[in-house]
A and B are shown apart, each in its own frame.
Chain A
């Protein structure tokens, strides 16, 4: 959910864009990271763990912890917490270690 009113901050949201998550269309604002846009849409599971495939979501949000790795436009292991979302981007949940065979 996005904050509409805040006592200190103004959120100057830019152009609305659309990307897909597991084939589903999601609206976001330009300048947001992929993970932020997904959380705003209520999506918390971004990947599964490499061994037991347990659900994983955002943890550090500053590109340190690898808990937000997703497949973006076919590339696995993209740190979605520091990668900006773009119009038409194809984002998919990552399973396990991410397939890098191509």
Chain B
């Protein structure tokens, strides 16, 4: 959305292809307030940011929005195919910005496919978007920020969180979020994992197990917890199918959440025409994603002639803001990942090289 707005502001015509029936991505279900400084929209709830961006886009006649539309593929003749309103359409853009976001990671345990086992995002969707309770008693797996925030949101909605299970020896998320749920007397079990879900047609209980210092299950430490819902908050992975299909050079970079496209500091991939932004470029948070969108949008349209004398200053300002955001100990992992993704440090293996020339 920020890429589209920036591109349109410089005079380019933009088409947004969105799978869902409204714009806003994951922001539309984020009821918590953002962290950081004021210019980074801290203190504002995600839902409010989504509203504001949507309004700006809807009132911008340079931007055409296709909702309930799926981008199907990118072809050699630089055509993007889109299925929209039961039709297969072709778009031939000068530049493409891929901001497809992320998908939830799965965890391997017995019966992890039972109904009642959800990703944390799904719980937020049901609860915060549709006002529907995912269950009555929830076991949260993962005590990173997402696990802690969604636990708190469940409590707000009146759902009982019976346990938060974390495999690492300490809580990964910010202390302020952990304190909130601790005050509500939710137990957080560190060095524990879920061994299996129990149930016939849907989750009825969870077997929890203690982990030793080598993360192996401690035999005899199993404990049964009665619950009808398991919520997995064990991380996200970039949703890069389109980038892979378009044959952008990929690399497996664990610091960024998985397979990501190599790109330069302006977020241009190894394909001259394609830029990437947001979680599709590497798992971070919404503020970084929005800045990346602006940067990619600006650079992309400047390359096709929509430019002005201030462009370099503006590009630099965005890069500085991103740098500031990733400063400090919290951004350390991201900084390392980005070095790899920009080819400055040995990147991981391209696990998709075998499909090059596959067609």
- Establish whether residues A55 and B119, one from each chain, have CB atoms under 8 Å apart when the complex forms: no
B153 nearest CB neighbor, chain A only = A8
Which of B116, B121, B129, B132 lies in contact with A57, CB distance below 8 A? B116
Q: Tell whether B128 is near chain A: CB-to-CB under 8 Å.
A: yes
Residues 239-289 (chain B) with a chain A CB within 8 angstroms: 239
B66 nearest CB across to chain A (Å):
14
A40 vs B6: C-alpha distance in the bound complex, in angstroms?
Answer: 40
CB neighbours (8 Å) of A45 from chain B are: 115, 201-202
The total of chain B residues at the interface (CB under 8 A) is: 34
Contact status B134-A39, CB under 8 Å: yes
The answer to whether B115 touches A9 (Cβ under 8 A) is: no
Task: Tell me the B71-118 residues at the A interface (CB within 8 Å).
Answer: 103-104, 113-118
Q: A7-B156, A8-B31, A61-B125 are in contact. Are A36 and B130 (CB under 8 A)?
A: yes
A22 and B95 CA atoms in complex are apart in Å by: 46
- Distance between B31 CB and nearest chain A CB, rounded to angstroms: 5
In the complex, residue of chain B having the shortest beta-carbon distance to the beta carbon of A41: B132
Chain A interface, number of residues (Cβ within 8 angstroms) = 34
Give Cα A44–Cα B19 distance, bound, in whole angstroms.
24
List residues of chain A with CB within 8 A of the CB of B201.
Answer: 44-45, 55
CA distance A2 to B126 in the complex (A): 10
User: In angstroms, how far is the closest chain A Cβ from the Cβ of B159?
Assistant: 9
Q: Is the CB of A36 within 8 A of B156?
A: no
Name the residue in A2, A46, A55, A81 with the highest tally of chain B Cβ atoms < 10 Å from its Cβ. Answer: A55
Question: In the bound complex, do residue A32 and residue B130 qualify as a contact, i.e. CB atoms below 8 Å apart?
Answer: yes
Known A36-B126, A40-B132, A44-B202; judge A58-B118 contact (CB<8 A). Answer: yes
Which residues of the other chain, A, contact B118 by a CB distance below 8 angstroms? 58-59, 61
A54 to B201, CA, bound (A): 8
CB neighbours of B131 from chain A (8 A): 2-3, 6, 9, 11, 13
B104 to A, closest residue via Cβ: A60
Cα-based distance from A63 to B5 in the complex (angstroms) = 25
Could you say which of A1, A6, A13, A64 has the most chain B C-beta atoms within 10 Å of its C-beta? A64
**Chain B neighbourhood of A57, CB < 8 A:** 114-116, 202
Task: Convert B51-82 into 0s and 1s, putting 1 for each residue whose CB lies closer than 8 angstroms to a CB of A.
Answer: 00000000000000000100000000000000
Residue in A11, A44, A82 with the greatest tally of chain B CB atoms within 10 Å: A44
If A8-B31, A55-B114, A58-B122 touch, whether A39 touches B132 (CB-CB below 8 Å) is: yes
Give the distance in Å from the alpha carbon of A44 to the alpha carbon of B202 in the complex.
Answer: 7
Nearest-CB distance from A16 to chain B (Å)? Answer: 14
The answer to whether A82 touches B126, judged by C-beta atoms less than 8 angstroms apart, is: no
Q: In the complex, what residues of B have CB within 8 A of residue A67's CB?
A: 113
Closest to B241 in A: A64
Query: Is A56 an interface position by the 8 A CB rule?
Result: yes
For residue A36, which residue of chain B has the nearest CB?
B130
Interface of B toward A, CB cutoff 8 Å: 19-21, 26, 31, 45, 68, 103-104, 113-119, 121-122, 125-134, 156-158, 201-202, 239
Please list the residues of chain A having a beta carbon within 8 angstroms of any beta carbon in chain B: 1-3, 6-9, 11, 13, 32-33, 36, 39-40, 44-46, 49, 54-65, 67, 81-82, 84
The 4 lowest CB-CB distance pairs between A and B, nearest first, are A57-B115, A61-B122, A11-B131, A44-B115
